[in-house]
Chains A and B, each alone.
Chain A
Amino acid sequence: MSLLESLAPSRFLFRRKRYRPDLASQWQLMWWKFRRHKMAMVGMALLGVFLAMTLFAETISPYPPGQRNPSYVAGPPMLPRMIDETGAVHLRPFVYGSKAVRDMVTLRMTHQADISQKWPIRFFVRGTPYRLFGIIPTDIHLFGTDEGFVHLFGTDFTGLDLFSRTVHATRASLGVALVGVTVSFILGAAIGGIAGYFGGWIDNFIMRLIEFIRSIPTLPLWLALAALMPRDWGPLATYLAITTILALLGWTWLARTVRSKLLATRHEDFVLAARLSGCSDARIIRRHLLPSFLSYLIVDASIAFPEILLAETSLSFLGLGLREPVESWGVLLFAAQSIRAIDQAPWLMIPGVFVIIAVLAFNFVGDGLRDAADPYSKS
């Protein structure tokens, strides 16, 4: 460190942000507190991976999600190896080739590793052309093979690569959750803000409405709303409708948080001081009320995220949410429902692991944010 500093041409280039709590803003203090929460940092890293998967799905997946591999139908996951059958270490990971074998008991064609063939895995290979972000034409994929094929998570009964599909499904799953949370957030902030600001019978009415909405069992309600959607709607329309349904039911938590925080901060001394200083209502809301509960709203949103993610997955799993050809984790799991899938291709349940990881990651981050949300608390 000191060597680095002495070698540096200018101290400005290597100047680290010094620990100065007296000059630290609310967000700086929150970040310092958040950083101490190890699990939240892990969750944050996982969310970063998911974000990369949504942005670079085409690059990360070796094949387009709709490309069938007729020579590897319902094939098991192929494990990348660095040590071969003789114990020799290969610097470049490889997968064994595959050969079709007929199972003499069930008389079914199955795939087995063919250790006589090794297909080395190469990185940044050229493959199927696509447009990055829908604009930049390219054909670079993160990994792939020159000869043969690689299916990390195996393939389904039509020969589609499950890894590519799972990576692509991240986009729809997290997208629905993101849009749902955003709409919930806006609805919740507005409705909760109205309740807390006006008080009286308006507050009473909104609170009773929220209790009513919450008392309806969610799953039958989703089913009923989802069943209202015409079957002939396109994938995009279905996508939007599902998001709207989830958002329309998800705002109640946020509305309650906004209301209670508004009621709590409205009677703080510094708000009274601002009013006595001549601040307008708008300025008090903008400069004093909103900043003091915005962090709590972010916590609530991060906790609402997995709820909506799970809701979408459940709906799609039941066949009422998104449908093929849209990929979401729920859609992929829909294919893993049958006894046949569980018996003959259990790897089709791998997208479920992604759901679990995503929900846990959001919960960890939400936990960390909740601890960090009020950097001025005494504890």
Chain B
Amino acid sequence: MTTETASRPQAAEGPSATALLTVKNLSVRFPTRTKGFFAKPAGYVSAVDHVSFEIARGETLGLVGESGSGKTTLGLAVLRGVEPTAGTVELAAGGGTLAVTSLDKQALRRSRHHMQMIFQDPYASLNPRMTVRDIVSEPLIAGAGDWGRLSRRQIDDRVLDIAVKCGLSKDQLKRFPHAFSGGQRQRIAIARALVLNPALVVCDEPISSLDVSIQAQILNLLADLQESLGLTYLFIAHDLAAVAYVCNRVAVMYLGKIVEVGTTRQVYYKPKHPYTEALMSAVPEPDPDAPRRPILLTGERPDPANPPSGCRFRTRCIYATALCAERVPPLRDLADGHMVACHHADQLKLRGALDFAGSERQEATDDRF
């Protein structure tokens, strides 16, 4: 797995001039209501809190974090599937820079073809009442943008072309989604996302509802399509192994904030944030006999409506000091584009995924003899 990641051409590391997507200070807040007829918003849940990152053209940025950390909301906010409360999203597409967050409704509709999404649950994301052909052709008819109006013939040709690329056959096009398995449905969803030849594809946990054997197929399909079509992915997942397999860079989210961004190697092998270390200690090992001692985080995840002061992770962090409660750690660049939001990142000696696997395995062999 690690060699796979290494052999994949590494895209530009860190912020660069070739950034396709630039996200600055993006925030999404949801009002929490009290019960009652004349209810006023009682408070806000910050699902995404001042998040900034960039994705270079042709690269895959992994977005990992536990459930409820705001990964999906961030992915949707980038596409304005949910309206961001603050911040800007810029997409370098169509020969210029598209200020996604300042587009009006009509302009946004016309720009949809630059950015598409693949959903987590292929059972919910495909309309059961439409044939595969109708599902895949819908973006061509509705959101063609500057492709203009296409004839029926052109639509059919384009649909067939992308369907074959996604591993579907021609006679499957006239069927309905209920005739397909989860993996095939996800292929349909991928075909729909790619039919307009988008620059950016947000993959929202595209494999987490699939069988393990199918997961690899879909991951390989996504990787092949990226190569042949020059796609850029924002890959949201909680499966760290899958993220390591497909991603050039990884961003780690905790409670609505990005705590660490770096190349996959940096984040996995030399994590600089205590939360990342805990995550890496939990990567499952294929060998069931290998004893593992993951770092078990104590306490509950804090209520996002009422986050702790200073560093949001401090309530569960074993390295936390008084400073962590006072000041919010900024996301700062350590070196080589490795960014981390921790006051003590320079002092801490944290262990990466390999260290855990290696040392534990060593102990295991010691025990045996």
Which A residues lie within 8 Å of B119 (CB)? Answer: 269, 272-273
Q: Contacts A278-B109, A278-B145 hold; do A25 and B129 have CB atoms under 8 A apart? A: yes
Report yes or no: B128 in contact with A278, Cβ–Cβ below 8 A.
Answer: no
Q: Contacts A269-B124, A291-B129 hold; do A279 and B143 have CB atoms under 8 A apart? A: yes
Residue of A whose beta carbon sits closest to that of B178: A376
A314 to chain B, nearest CB (A): 36
User: A102 at interface (Cβ–Cβ under 8 A)?
Assistant: no
A206 to chain B, nearest CB (A): 15
Q: Contacts A25-B176, A291-B129, A376-B178 hold; do A273 and B117 have CB atoms under 8 A apart? A: yes
CA distance A292 to B130 in the complex (A): 11
Residues 123 to 166 of chain B near chain A (Cβ within 8 Å): 124-130, 138-139, 142-145
B42 to chain A, nearest CB (A): 18
Which A residues lie within 8 Å of B238 (CB)? Answer: none
Which B residues lie within 8 Å of A376 (CB)? Answer: 128, 178
CA distance A280 to B145 in the complex (A): 12
* 9 closest A-B pairs by CB: A278-B143, A22-B179, A278-B112, A269-B124, A277-B139, A269-B125, A279-B142, A270-B127, A22-B175
Q: List 15 A-B contacts (CB under 8 A).
A: A22-B175, A22-B179, A272-B81, A272-B125, A273-B119, A273-B192, A274-B142, A277-B112, A277-B142, A277-B192, A278-B109, A278-B113, A288-B127, A376-B128, A376-B178
Selected from B145, B179, B189, the residue in CB contact (under 8 A) with A21 is: B179
User: A26 at interface (Cβ–Cβ under 8 A)?
Assistant: yes
Please give 19 more A-B residue pairs, beta carbons under 8 A apart, in addition to A276-B116, A277-B138, A288-B127: A22-B176, A22-B178, A23-B174, A25-B129, A26-B129, A270-B126, A270-B127, A272-B119, A273-B117, A273-B125, A276-B79, A276-B112, A277-B143, A278-B139, A279-B142, A279-B143, A280-B109, A291-B129, A292-B127
CA distance A288 to B125 in the complex (A): 12
Report yes or no: B116 in contact with A23, Cβ–Cβ below 8 A.
Answer: no
User: B239 at interface (Cβ–Cβ under 8 A)?
Assistant: no
User: B66 at interface (Cβ–Cβ under 8 A)?
Assistant: no
CA distance A288 to B129 in the complex (A): 8
Q: Contacts A269-B125, A292-B129 hold; do A276 and B179 have CB atoms under 8 A apart? A: no
Which B residues lie within 8 Å of A269 (CB)? Answer: 119, 121, 124-125
Which A residues lie within 8 Å of B116 (CB)? Answer: 276-277
Residue of A whose beta carbon sits closest to that of B189: A273
Residues 1 to 56 of chain A near chain B (Cβ within 8 Å): 21-26
Interface residues of B (CB under 8 A from A): 37, 79, 81, 109-110, 112-113, 116-117, 119, 121, 124-130, 138-139, 142-145, 174-176, 178-179, 189, 192, 196
Report yes or no: B125 in contact with A270, Cβ–Cβ below 8 A.
Answer: yes
Interface residues of A (CB under 8 A from B): 21-26, 204, 268-270, 272-280, 283, 287-288, 291-292, 376
Report yes or no: B138 in contact with A279, Cβ–Cβ below 8 A.
Answer: yes
A11 to chain B, nearest CB (A): 21
A23 to chain B, nearest CB (A): 6
B127 to chain A, nearest CB (A): 4
B148 to chain A, nearest CB (A): 13
Which A residues lie within 8 Å of B81 (CB)? Answer: 272, 275-276
Which A residues lie within 8 Å of B143 (CB)? Answer: 277-279
Max chain B Cβ within 10 angstroms of own Cβ: one of A275, A276, A279, A288: A276
Report yes or no: B139 in contact with A23, Cβ–Cβ below 8 A.
Answer: no
Report yes or no: A21 in contact with B178, Cβ–Cβ below 8 A.
Answer: yes
Which B residues lie within 8 Å of A275 (CB)? Answer: 81
CA distance A269 to B72 in the complex (A): 13
Q: Contacts A272-B81, A278-B113 hold; do A26 and B128 have CB atoms under 8 A apart? A: yes
Which A residues lie within 8 Å of B178 (CB)? Answer: 21-22, 376
CA distance A280 to B139 in the complex (A): 11
Which A residues lie within 8 Å of B128 (CB)? Answer: 26, 376
CA distance A287 to B129 in the complex (A): 9
Max chain B Cβ within 10 angstroms of own Cβ: one of A268, A275, A280: A275
B105 to chain A, nearest CB (A): 9
CA distance A132 to B121 in the complex (A): 57
B212 to chain A, nearest CB (A): 23
Which A residues lie within 8 Å of B196 (CB)? Answer: 277
A368 to chain B, nearest CB (A): 20
Q: Contacts A24-B176, A273-B117 hold; do A278 and B142 have CB atoms under 8 A apart? A: yes
Which A residues lie within 8 Å of B113 (CB)? Answer: 278
Which B residues lie within 8 Å of A276 (CB)? Answer: 79, 81, 112, 116-117
CA distance A292 to B126 in the complex (A): 12
B226 to chain A, nearest CB (A): 19
A375 to chain B, nearest CB (A): 8
Which B residues lie within 8 Å of A268 (CB)? Answer: 124
Residue of A whose beta carbon sits closest to that of B175: A22
CA distance A21 to B119 in the complex (A): 25
B131 to chain A, nearest CB (A): 8
Residue of B whose beta carbon sits closest to that of A273: B125
Which A residues lie within 8 Å of B121 (CB)? Answer: 269
Residue of A whose beta carbon sits closest to that of B116: A276
A33 to chain B, nearest CB (A): 13
CA distance A23 to B145 in the complex (A): 31
B147 to chain A, nearest CB (A): 10
Residue of B whose beta carbon sits closest to that of A265: B127
Which B residues lie within 8 Å of A279 (CB)? Answer: 138, 142-143
Which B residues lie within 8 Å of A291 (CB)? Answer: 129
Which B residues lie within 8 Å of A272 (CB)? Answer: 81, 119, 125
Which B residues lie within 8 Å of A273 (CB)? Answer: 117, 119, 125-126, 189, 192
CA distance A234 to B143 in the complex (A): 56
Max chain A Cβ within 10 angstroms of own Cβ: one of B81, B109, B138, B179: B138
CA distance A86 to B192 in the complex (A): 80
A77 to chain B, nearest CB (A): 51
CA distance A91 to B112 in the complex (A): 76
B66 to chain A, nearest CB (A): 22
B142 to chain A, nearest CB (A): 4
